[in-house]
Amino acid sequence: MKKWILVLVLAVLVLGYLAMLPDDPDTDKLKLKGVNFNTSLEPSLEAAKSQGKPVFVYVRSEDCGWCKKFEAETFTNKSVIKVLNEKFVLVSIDVDKQKNETRNFRVRGTPTEIFLDPGGTEIKRIPGYIDTRTFLETLNEIV
Protein backbone atom coordinates (compact mmCIF):
# COMPACT_ATOMS: atom_id res chain seq x y z
CA MET A 1 0.00 0.00 0.00
CA LYS A 2 2.81 2.46 0.90
CA LYS A 3 4.48 1.69 -2.41
CA TRP A 4 1.33 2.68 -4.35
CA ILE A 5 0.98 5.93 -2.41
CA LEU A 6 4.60 6.80 -3.22
CA VAL A 7 4.02 6.01 -6.92
CA LEU A 8 0.87 8.12 -6.93
CA VAL A 9 2.64 11.08 -5.27
CA LEU A 10 5.53 10.86 -7.75
CA ALA A 11 3.11 10.68 -10.67
CA VAL A 12 1.27 13.78 -9.46
CA LEU A 13 4.57 15.66 -9.04
CA VAL A 14 5.81 14.69 -12.52
CA LEU A 15 2.49 15.61 -14.15
CA GLY A 16 2.46 18.93 -12.28
CA TYR A 17 5.96 19.70 -13.48
CA LEU A 18 5.09 18.82 -17.08
CA ALA A 19 1.99 21.02 -16.91
CA MET A 20 4.16 23.98 -15.88
CA LEU A 21 6.45 23.65 -18.91
CA PRO A 22 5.67 26.19 -21.63
CA ASP A 23 3.84 24.94 -24.70
CA ASP A 24 5.74 27.39 -26.86
CA PRO A 25 9.55 27.22 -26.78
CA ASP A 26 9.61 30.92 -27.75
CA THR A 27 8.01 32.12 -24.51
CA ASP A 28 10.36 35.08 -24.37
CA LYS A 29 8.54 36.56 -27.39
CA LEU A 30 5.31 38.53 -27.57
CA LYS A 31 3.44 39.68 -30.67
CA LEU A 32 1.36 42.84 -30.25
CA LYS A 33 -0.60 43.55 -33.41
CA GLY A 34 2.08 43.91 -36.12
CA VAL A 35 5.13 44.11 -33.83
CA ASN A 36 7.18 41.29 -32.28
CA PHE A 37 8.76 41.96 -28.90
CA ASN A 38 11.26 40.17 -26.72
CA THR A 39 10.15 39.83 -23.12
CA SER A 40 13.62 39.21 -21.67
CA LEU A 41 15.56 42.38 -20.99
CA GLU A 42 19.15 41.15 -20.64
CA PRO A 43 19.42 39.33 -24.00
CA SER A 44 17.79 42.33 -25.65
CA LEU A 45 20.36 44.70 -24.17
CA GLU A 46 23.15 42.42 -25.39
CA ALA A 47 21.60 42.35 -28.88
CA ALA A 48 21.29 46.15 -28.90
CA LYS A 49 24.92 46.55 -27.96
CA SER A 50 26.15 44.11 -30.61
CA GLN A 51 23.87 45.58 -33.31
CA GLY A 52 24.41 49.22 -32.32
CA LYS A 53 20.66 49.82 -32.12
CA PRO A 54 18.64 51.68 -29.51
CA VAL A 55 16.14 49.74 -27.39
CA PHE A 56 12.43 50.44 -27.21
CA VAL A 57 11.00 49.17 -23.93
CA TYR A 58 7.21 49.04 -23.92
CA VAL A 59 5.83 48.65 -20.39
CA ARG A 60 2.26 47.41 -20.35
CA SER A 61 -0.42 45.44 -18.59
CA GLU A 62 -2.99 43.01 -19.96
CA ASP A 63 -5.76 44.96 -18.16
CA CYS A 64 -4.69 48.44 -19.25
CA GLY A 65 -7.24 50.15 -21.49
CA TRP A 66 -4.79 52.84 -22.64
CA CYS A 67 -2.28 50.09 -23.53
CA LYS A 68 -4.89 48.38 -25.70
CA LYS A 69 -5.72 51.70 -27.40
CA PHE A 70 -2.02 52.45 -28.01
CA GLU A 71 -1.39 48.95 -29.38
CA ALA A 72 -4.47 48.99 -31.65
CA GLU A 73 -3.62 52.39 -33.12
CA THR A 74 0.17 52.42 -33.12
CA PHE A 75 1.32 48.83 -33.59
CA THR A 76 -0.87 48.51 -36.68
CA ASN A 77 0.61 51.59 -38.38
CA LYS A 78 2.89 50.46 -41.24
CA SER A 79 5.37 53.32 -40.76
CA VAL A 80 5.70 52.61 -37.03
CA ILE A 81 6.10 48.87 -37.63
CA LYS A 82 8.81 49.48 -40.24
CA VAL A 83 10.85 51.86 -38.06
CA LEU A 84 10.54 49.69 -34.94
CA ASN A 85 11.48 46.47 -36.73
CA GLU A 86 14.41 47.96 -38.66
CA LYS A 87 15.91 50.47 -36.24
CA PHE A 88 15.24 49.20 -32.69
CA VAL A 89 15.60 46.19 -30.44
CA LEU A 90 12.13 45.72 -28.95
CA VAL A 91 11.27 44.66 -25.40
CA SER A 92 7.87 44.41 -23.77
CA ILE A 93 7.56 44.29 -20.00
CA ASP A 94 4.36 43.20 -18.29
CA VAL A 95 4.02 45.04 -14.97
CA ASP A 96 2.08 42.16 -13.42
CA LYS A 97 4.49 39.40 -14.49
CA GLN A 98 7.84 41.20 -14.43
CA LYS A 99 7.80 43.11 -11.17
CA ASN A 100 11.61 43.36 -10.82
CA GLU A 101 12.00 45.02 -14.22
CA THR A 102 9.07 47.31 -13.44
CA ARG A 103 10.75 48.40 -10.19
CA ASN A 104 14.16 48.78 -11.85
CA PHE A 105 12.66 51.10 -14.48
CA ARG A 106 10.70 53.00 -11.79
CA VAL A 107 7.47 52.63 -13.76
CA ARG A 108 4.47 54.28 -12.09
CA GLY A 109 1.77 53.47 -14.64
CA THR A 110 0.98 51.92 -17.98
CA PRO A 111 1.59 52.31 -20.75
CA THR A 112 5.12 53.63 -20.42
CA GLU A 113 7.46 53.89 -23.39
CA ILE A 114 11.18 53.96 -22.58
CA PHE A 115 14.01 54.42 -25.06
CA LEU A 116 17.54 53.27 -24.24
CA ASP A 117 20.76 53.80 -26.14
CA PRO A 118 22.67 50.67 -27.28
CA GLY A 119 24.57 50.72 -23.98
CA GLY A 120 21.36 50.59 -21.93
CA THR A 121 21.24 54.24 -20.78
CA GLU A 122 17.84 55.87 -20.84
CA ILE A 123 17.40 58.42 -23.63
CA LYS A 124 13.72 59.28 -23.28
CA ARG A 125 10.64 58.22 -21.33
CA ILE A 126 7.01 58.74 -22.24
CA PRO A 127 4.66 58.00 -19.35
CA GLY A 128 1.13 57.24 -20.50
CA TYR A 129 -0.65 57.09 -23.81
CA ILE A 130 0.78 58.88 -26.85
CA ASP A 131 -0.88 59.22 -30.26
CA THR A 132 0.61 57.47 -33.29
CA ARG A 133 1.84 60.61 -35.08
CA THR A 134 3.71 61.89 -32.01
CA PHE A 135 5.11 58.41 -31.33
CA LEU A 136 6.42 58.12 -34.90
CA GLU A 137 8.03 61.58 -34.61
CA THR A 138 9.72 60.41 -31.40
CA LEU A 139 11.01 57.26 -33.10
CA ASN A 140 12.48 59.28 -35.96
CA GLU A 141 14.04 61.73 -33.48
CA ILE A 142 15.80 58.90 -31.66
CA VAL A 143 17.17 57.15 -34.73
Return all residues near 107 (Cβ < 8 A) that are at least 6 apart. Answer: 59, 93, 95
Return the amino acid letter for 24: D
Domains of the chain: 26-142 (3.40.30.10)
The pLDDT tens digits for 58-99 are 999 999 999 999 999 999 999 999 999 999 999 999 999 999
Per the CB < 8 A criterion, the answer to whether 135 and 88 are in contact is: no
Mean pLDDT on 113-135: 96
Confidence of residue 15 (pLDDT cuts 50, 70, 90): low
Residue 24 pLDDT > 50, yes or no?
no
Mean pLDDT for 11-33 is 59
Give the model's confidence band at 120: pLDDT under 50 very low, under 70 low, under 90 confident, else very high. very high
